[in-house]
Structure formats: structure tokens, C-alpha cells
Amino acid sequence: MKVVITGGTGFIGLNLARRLVLRGALTGPSGAAEEIDSIVLFDAVTPTARPPGLDGRVDIVAGDVADRDAVSALIDRDDISVFHLASVVSGEGERDFDLALRVNVDGTRTVLQACRARAGAPRVVFTSSVAAFGGAAMPATVTDTTKQTPETTYGMTKSIGELMINDYTRKGFLDGRAARPPAVIIRPGRPNAAASSFASGIFREPLNGEECVLPVAPETLVHVLGQRNCVEGLIVLHEADGAALGDDRAVNLPSATYAVSEMIEALKRVAAANGRALGPITVRPDAAVERIIAGWPTWTEADRALALGCPADESLDRVIQDYIDDFLGG
């Protein structure tokens, strides 16, 4: 089988690709593990150097996810699976409404239309977000059946994606599944335009010996999921029996909620255990970031994802240790 990962050179996309390279197979429509002979990472921006952890089965292709011809050329086999991760992120979507609609809505539709043109209803795993929830009527804890009244353009486009995934699946055009991750940590590299970018930066910059400027107060609650378990959750969703998902194909991924101050304490513990010095953390609240974060849910229940086998993090300390092992050479 061929696996296409849109947004494939991003944080989740690359780690998903590395995991698929190691696995070598994925359970698809046949219900049995199928060998992966091709993985294509499709992205608007591609890295200048080939990222580590990939092998000869992996191709990197630059392109626009809303470009029908490019996407059709990508989704060119019937034995195909798509992880559709390409997306304008939350902060960027607030700054550029039209870009968010073009990439997140038109792009998703383009991907779904290309899958529909294939025989055999390909499996499509779409990354929605907890940002799909929001609004004055949002309960303190959101569940898989909480109404979605998002308070960001990003969240709006993710809700639209979920609706399309459900209906394309109901029509038999494809076999869609959607995941709503919280902030996924710990992203290596540089800060990005997501309002939740600090949830990685708070660990990453100090571990690099750099200053982290925190845009939120220490008592702010953030709900997060470690990168390894996010990737694993997407694979579990891909492999799940469609009947277990029923008519609503989207699930909250497992998450845990921490105060920023707890995140700092965990970082100090794990850094000490690894004999690593830390750069400073400076609190400098940013009203725009605080407003976006305040509009997101603080606690989520992930009953459906847990029942399907999507893993939850063991602890925050473990997530930090995983980052040191995966990205800082242990």
C-alpha cells in the first residue's frame, strides 16, 4: 500500500512517517496488515536537508493541498491511505482568515475528492483539534458529544472538516476517521504560529539553554498529549474497525491537563535526572494568545478513543524524557 501524509514534513507528519517506516505495515480495508511500499510526505514547504529516520520508501513532494491536480497526482492508487494533517494553525488562522479557509476547508475538500475518485473507499485519518470546541455554552469538560461552537477560525475549519469526513464516509466515498488532539508536545525546532506553541517552547527552549518567554500566566491550565501517543493514536484510528466508529468518525484523543507551573516543575525534575542545565523562563503575558487559549476547553474526556485503544500519556515526566531521547540524543 501507499501512504500519503499531507502536512507530512511538519512535526506530527514526520514522526508519523518515521513510525510507519519502522512498522512497515498498516491494517487497512482488508482487515489485515498490509505492507507499505511507498510513503509520500506532501507539504507546502519542504526541508532543505532530508530529515533523519526516513528510508528509500519515503518521498517528499512540495505542493499546495488545495491544488486539485497536485493532490490527484498524489492520490493515484486504489491501495492508498491518507493521513490528512496539512493545516493552517490557530494563530495563523486568526491573522489570515482567507488562507485558513483555502488551506483547511478547500484543501480538505480537495483531498477528500481525490480519495473519492479512487476505488474501494480509502481510509483517511484527519486531524481535527480540541479547538473545534469553544463558546460561552461550552461545559468545563468537553466530551465526544459536546456541541462544537469554535471560537477561532482554525477551530471552525476543523469542525467543517469533521462534518465532511462524516458525510463522505456515510456516502461510501471513503472511510474517514478524525482525531481531536489537544496541544501536542514537545515540538522540536523553532516556535510556530500556533497559539499553543508555548506548550512546547516551555520545555524546548530551556533544554536548549535558551530563554523561554511565556505568553501566559503560570496558573494557566493547558491540556496536552505527548507526540509519541498522538502519532500512535492516529495509527490506532487508521487501523480501527469502521463499525466501532459508527456514524460519528471523530474522537477526542486522550489528554492530560497541567498548570504551566506544574510543567515547569516537571521540566526541572527531568532535567536534573538527566544532568542537564536549563535556560531561564520569563513570564510575559500576550493578550492575543491568552484570549485564544482561554477559549479552548481545559479538560476533555476521550472515552471513545480510549475504547478504540488510543494510548494516553503515562506522565508529563515521561513525555519530557521521550523528547530528550527522541530529539536531544538521550
Q: How big is the site for its own copies, counted in residues (CB under 8 A)?
A: 28
- Catalytic site includes residue 258: no
Work out which of 19, 109, 269, 318 binds its own copies, going by CB under 8 A.
Answer: 109
Q: Is 149 in the site for its own copies (CB under 8 A)?
A: yes
By CB under 8 A, which span of 67-75, 153-161, 261-269, 306-314 interacts with its own copies? 153-161
Secondary structure (3-state) at 298? coil
Cβ(178)–Cβ(125) under 8 Å?
Answer: yes
Beta bridge partners of 213: 282
Please report, as a single letter, which amino acid is at residue 296.
Answer: W
By CB under 8 A, which span of 160-168, 176-184, 272-280, 313-321 interacts with its own copies? 160-168
- Strands ordered across the beta sheet of 80-84: 58-62, 38-43, 2-6, 80-84, 123-127, 175-180, 250-252
Please report, as a single letter, which amino acid is at residue 63.
Answer: G
Q: How many other β-carbons are positioned within 10 Å of the β-carbon of residue 243?
A: 6
What string marks each residue from 111 to 140 as x (binds its own copies by CB under 8 A) or -? Answer: -----------------------xxxx---
Beta bridge partners of 127: 179
What string marks each residue from 51 to 90 as x (binds its own copies by CB under 8 A) or -? Answer: ----------------------------------------
Work out which of 9, 128, 153, 200 binds its own copies, going by CB under 8 A.
Answer: 153
Distances 201 to 10, 56, 227 between C-alpha atoms, Å: 16, 32, 14
Q: Is 164 in the site for its own copies (CB under 8 A)?
A: yes
Distance CA 94, CA 90 (A): 6
Distance CA 165, CA 231 (A): 19
Smallest separation, CB 179 to its own copies (Å): 16
Closer residue to its own copies (CB): 99 or 272:
99
Q: Is 288 in the site for its own copies (CB under 8 A)?
A: no
Q: Is 148 in the site for its own copies (CB under 8 A)?
A: yes
Burial of 280-303, coded b for 16+ CB within 10 Å and e otherwise, reads: ebeeeeeeebeebbebbbbbbbbe
| Residues 228-257 contacting its own copies, CB under 8 A | 246-248
Closer residue to its own copies (CB): 148 or 227:
148
Smallest separation, CB 295 to its own copies (Å): 9
Work out which of 23, 95, 170, 291 binds its own copies, going by CB under 8 A.
Answer: 170
Distance CA 227, CA 201 (A): 14
By CB under 8 A, which span of 20-28, 35-43, 164-172, 266-274 interacts with its own copies? 164-172
User: Residue 162: enclosing H or E segment and its boundaries?
Assistant: helix 153-170
Smallest separation, CB 167 to its own copies (Å): 4
Smallest separation, CB 113 to its own copies (Å): 9
Cβ(212)–Cβ(281) under 8 Å?
Answer: yes
Q: Which residues are catalytic?
A: 154
By the criterion CB under 8 A, which residues form the site for its own copies? 97, 101, 109, 134-137, 145-151, 153, 156, 159-160, 163-164, 166-167, 170-171, 173, 246-248
